[in-house]
Amino acid sequence: MFASSTVSALLRQCSISWSSTIVPVRSKNYLNRPRLRNPVWFVKKTRTLHNEQFTEDNKAFLNEVKRETILTAAQRNQNTLLKLAQGEENGSLVQWSPGLKRTGVIAKKIGQYPLWTKDGQKIRTTLLQIIDNEVVKYIPPEEYRPAQEPRQSRNWRKPYGCLLVGAEHGDPSLFTKEYAGLFQDSGVLPKKHLCRFIVSPEAQLPAGTALTVSHFRVGDYVDVRGKTVDRGFQGVVKRHGFKGMPKSHGVTKTHRRPGNIGAGGNKARVWPGTRLPGHMGNRWRVLRGLRILRINPQYNVMWVMGSNVAGSTNGIVYVYDTILPLRKHGSKGGPAGSPPFPTALEPLPANSGDVWLEDLHDFRKLSITYSAGSE
């Protein structure tokens, strides 16, 4: 048998070694700090505006030039899609197969809207509008060097390239010369928003290719990435949903405080990841496996399931094919058939009307009919 002093010494050594080697963490994302500033190597977008002393005739002339330029760009997009369609007929385009990665699109969150199934079940959806998406540049795998290498090692057997996509036409006079120079070689008008999508080399697209809502189909599952609303510094009640202290019965000035945050014994410290007041929002969040329930080709709007897409109204989100194993294309629980690859070469006509999921109730169709002989 050991003496009491020996047992206490062994316990003390075990506690010291345990506390010095194992650092318990209550949250995996406790180092995820919001980025309030862009990196220094980012190209400045907007320039300092001065009073150019333009007359009304000069402004009208500039607006006419902008309008003609936009129409020329739209015609060029149609020609690009026709060339891709001809390449598909000739067999030069690669057919889609499981494992190939398509590009995504940049969308704007414009609101929420309820839909109903045929049996009367209500579904809350979010409306995403794809605004003037065009391919700006393709970077092959041997030239693509991301600013931050991913945690997983790069797969050199199946390398991925990068596709730079721009969205929403902007006034060229508002951008800097350096930012407008990014679009010089592609012939695309300067865009307000840019995003890089990792794609397979077989899914590359030429510069100037338009991406519409026809890139997806009704019934597909997508991942939506957006930045949450910046709430600033908030307490634990709003930030973490704490209940708070009682309103009465001797409680003084601690109604919305977090309470005890420490621990007793030899581990008397505040553990990393403890839920405390701090900065709330301005974090990137991804919702995976959202199903597309409805598509409007005229305005490039799609209804996705769910009402918790990150971001405020008119905020920018990124939409791409889901990576969930049981929901992506080619899986058992995924949508049937192959997606448009590398994109929709023949977009839906604008006057074709909305495309609904079969399980949804289309309000354009009659649900109750009356005959002349009915009472």
Q: Does residue 20 surpass a pLDDT of 60?
A: no
Identify any residues that bridge with 124 across adjacent strands, giving them in sequence order. 114
> pLDDT tens digits for 50-64?
887 888 898 888 888
Per the model's pLDDT, the better-predicted residue between 161 and 348 turns out to be 161
Q: Where are any strands of DSSP class E within 18-169?
A: 105-116, 122-130, 133-139, 161-169
Give Cα 346 to chain centroid, integer Å.
25
Residues 329-344, mean pLDDT to the nearest whole number: 89
Per-residue confidence at 311, pLDDT binned at 50, 70, 90? very high
Statement: residue 211 has pLDDT above 50: yes
CA–CA–CA angle 303, 207, 60 (5° rounding):
80
Q: Residues 140, 145, 149, CA angle at the centre, nearest 5°?
A: 130
Q: Per-residue pLDDT averaged across 259-285, rounded?
A: 86
- Alpha-carbon distance 301 to 127, whole Å? 7
CB atoms within 10 A of CB 57: 8
Determine the Cα–Cα distance for residues 95 and 98; give it in Å rounded to an integer: 10
Coil vs helix vs strand at 9: helix
What is the C-alpha separation between 375 and 294, in angstroms, rounded?
37
Structure-model confidence comparison of residues 151 and 125, the more confident one: 125
Comparing 88 with 337, which gets the higher pLDDT?
337
Average pLDDT, integer, range 177-192: 88
Q: Would you kindly state where each structural domain of the chain is located, as residue ranges?
A: 94-144+160-230+280-356
pLDDT digits (tens, 9 = 90+) for 317-331: 999 999 999 999 988
Structural contact between residues 112 and 307, judged by C-beta atoms closer than 8 angstroms: yes
Mean pLDDT within 170-187: 87
pLDDT of residue 351: 81
Q: What are phi and psi of 77, to 5 degrees?
A: -65, -40
- Is-contact 135 208, C-beta < 8 A? yes
Global pTM value: 0.81
Q: And the tokens for 167?
A: 């969205």
The continuous run of DSSP H or E covering 60 comes out as: helix 56-90
Work out whether the CA dihedral 105, 111, 114, 115 comes out positive or negative: negative
Average pLDDT over residues 183-203: 90
Residue 236 in contact with residue 277, Cβ under 8 Å?
A: yes
Q: If residue 4 lies in a helix (H) or strand (E), which one and from where to where? A: helix 4-21
- Give burial (CB, 10 Å; 0-12/13-18/19+) of 106: buried
Least confident of 32-46, 94-108, 252-266: 32-46
Mean pLDDT of the chain: 83
pLDDT number for residue 356: 93
94-144+160-230+280-356 CATH: 2.40.30.10
pLDDT digits (tens, 9 = 90+) for 283-303: 889 999 999 999 999 999 999
Q: What is the structure's pLDDT at 17?
A: 38
Nearest alpha carbon to residue 116 among 363, 366, 364: 363
* Burial grade of 256 (CB within 10 A; 0-12, 13-18, 19 or more): middle
- pLDDT over threshold 70, residue 85: no
Mean pLDDT value across residues 185-194? 88
